[in-house]
Amino acid sequence: MPHSSYFDRDLSWLTFNYRVLEEAAREETPLLERLFFLSVYCSNLDEFYRVRIPAVAALQKIKATREDYISAAGVQLLTKISSRINSQLENFGRLLTGQVLPALRQKGIHFNYRQPIPASAMAAATGYFLTQVLAFLQPVYLSAGGAGFFPENDHLYFLIILDQDSPGEELVILNIPSDSLPRFFSTSEGTTHHILFLDDIIRENLTYVFPASVISSVISFKISRDAELDLEDEYQGDIAEKIEKRLTKRDAGLATRLLYEPGAPIRILESLIKQLNLEGATTMEGGRYHNLRDLAGFPVKDPTLSYRPWPATGRNFDHRPSLLQAIMEKDILLHVPYEAYDPVLRFFNEAAIHPQVEGIFVTLYRVARDSRIVHALISASRNGKNVTVFVELKARFDEANNLRWAKKMKEAGVKIIYSIPGLKVHAKIGLAKKRVDGRVHYCGLLATGNLNENTARFYTDHILLTGNHELMRELELLFIFLSKRKDPRKAEKIAFQYLLVAQFNLQDRFLALIDREIGHAREGRSASMIIKMNNLEERVLIDKLYEASQAGVRIQLLIRGICCCVPGVSGQSENITIHRIIDRYLEHGRVFIFHNGGQEDIFLGSSDWMNRNIYRRIEVCFPVYEPRLKAEIRELLRLQLADTVAASPITAEGENTIADPAPAARPIGNDAIRSQEAIYQYLAELRNDPPTRN
């Protein structure tokens, strides 16, 4: 069959999300983890509707206001996307009701899904409703001026039809307060545990809310809204104040989807759409329950039904009086979450109080809600250090948290640099500047993932702690540039020799590295690349990969999410193979290995090859020099490329399909390799800390 040169990014993303659903279908996945994967699938899909669907739908109005969509082909694309999602949701429902719920029931866990509340649980449910739930219910009568009611983004509601004594019907919107109360209520009867939806508890007790009315129908619904803040690319004014004001309006964004329970009468839906001004939204029939991402909070805690813990391997530097001095002597490479995050926390803690440290510089993109790193930066400032923090206020869905921490740091005397208009600073870098006997020394941190001790527990990332003078000097130059808040696309460039920095040299350096492999191949020498990223979209780099493939360069790609590169096409990409790994940890590290005739170059970094990373962000990728650390990276990727369980191939036929096959567990043989488990064992043995599990 003929193949396009590029996969569509949104259809490719839907394939990735379907792989998440497939993890829930694996019988060997622990039961509560299967529920978790179902919740992740739903959470991802909700974000897709907030972020991507507005971009596609804009084409129907010939309004190319979002990235990547400029042609009217978006109308056809929207149809394909809807068909794909509908197919996936049907499989989701069959998986949940046909496999997961029966498996729970066998364990004595009765998850009440689309069933009346059992009589044995009704008294407890009604008591909970009267004492806890009723206080949060706020009915809105549309006939009594409720037409001005504004449903918030992704909040849950009932549309209730009341039969009145007078002619006509009364439409009432009633909130389901899952933002204030747990989505699930549990009650036990002997060894049986009943898990009830908050929604169903409210349904069963509506006579307490409408005692004088006959309830004709109850229809659940929710509305998704555009998540973009639409900040203008300008330099004047207080950007923090502008973002803070925009955040208050985010949930009032343009409605992109109305999701409603099956069986809703057309005339009622039309009335709801008209009264709530939803004419521009996509209307979709969903299930009885929405926001099933809440399954992540399923109220059962049973270690036997969850993944067996993998205790993080400790990198114990307690015997060293100074971690900063240890870094000056030898580079340290951490692989989280397999290894403990403690050295990162100690790096900032020690820098905050070390008498020879005079300055600390760091970029923050997504930080923990109670960030120990930020607390250390605040202490450093109060301890007399010069602390400079670049806070990216445009990190989607983390703007409020970043803004809150920025204010606290500013109050403590930290120099805060806010976002550069038109760009996001996505680099994950930190620098401590020491003065010893009048001479300046640097200790630095460069990472593939955010400086966030919470996500470090389940995102796989690599963190280099180094005192390499050339790298650290260039890192300082970048921080000096960032402090000026200039747009590097319009300002004088820094001639980075060692770091690869987007908006300066990153794309050109990657193109040159690929060209070098092409040169080796054309000269008859061995030529290969191994590249691991979250997403691959940017066409200049994809075209260069195609050119390398045609020259005979062997290219192995590990792409977790969006992949627009089409592998295995004769005359275009026959030397390219691509795999996607979905497992208990979220694959997040970016790794670039270039064979270079046996003189391997290895880079790690924050940058995917997406349009946004290449053209609209400041990213930093960095070389790994020490042979022992390069050997570690090489072995980690060897294990991932050998994965026969969690890895699935991306093929020329697979990414653009309209309908997915029903998810099914793949058989696992005795010789199967699950790379994350293998990596955990490898690192434990490497650090002389054998795994404690069986």
Q: What is the pLDDT of residues 552-567, one digit of tens each?
A: 999 999 999 999 999 9
Q: Average the pLDDT over 203-219 and give the result.
A: 94
- Taking 50 as the threshold, does the pLDDT of residue 146 lie above it? yes
Write down the pLDDT at residue 550: 98
Rg for the chain, CA atoms, rounded:
27
Element (H, E) at 197: strand 192-197
Write down the pLDDT at residue 665: 57
If you ran DSSP here, which 8-state letter would residue 71 be given?
Answer: S
Q: What pLDDT band is residue 490 in, cutting at 50, 70 and 90? A: confident
Write down the pLDDT at residue 72: 52
Q: Count the helices and strands in the chain (H runs, E runs).
A: 19, 27
Q: What is the pTM of this model?
A: 0.91
Pick the range with the lowest mean pLDDT from 406-410, 454-458, 581-585, 659-663.
Answer: 659-663
Cα separation, 380 vs 367, whole angstroms: 17
φ and ψ at residue 674, rounded to 5 degrees = -110, 110
Spatial CA neighbour of 24 closest among 16, 13, 14, 36: 36
In tens, the pLDDT along 61-106 reads: 433 444 444 445 667 888 889 889 989 999 999 999 999 999 999 9
Spatial CA neighbour of 260 closest among 270, 251, 248, 275: 270
- Taking 60 as the threshold, does the pLDDT of residue 233 lie above it? no
In tens, the pLDDT along 571-609 reads: 999 999 999 999 999 999 999 999 999 999 999 999 999
Q: Which of 110, 193, 354, 426 is catalytic?
A: 426
Pick the range with the lowest mean pLDDT from 299-303, 318-322, 477-481.
Answer: 318-322
- Taking 60 as the threshold, does the pLDDT of residue 237 lie above it? no
In tens, the pLDDT along 164-209 reads: 655 678 899 999 999 999 999 999 988 899 999 999 999 999 999 9
Handedness of CA 99, 104, 108, 112 (dihedral sign): negative
Write down the pLDDT at residue 169: 83
φ and ψ at residue 502, rounded to 5 degrees = -60, 140
Q: Is 579 a catalytic residue?
A: no
Spatial CA neighbour of 481 closest among 434, 423, 534: 423
Which residues have C-beta within 8 Å of that of residue 450, sequence separation ≥ 6? 365, 366, 367, 428, 459
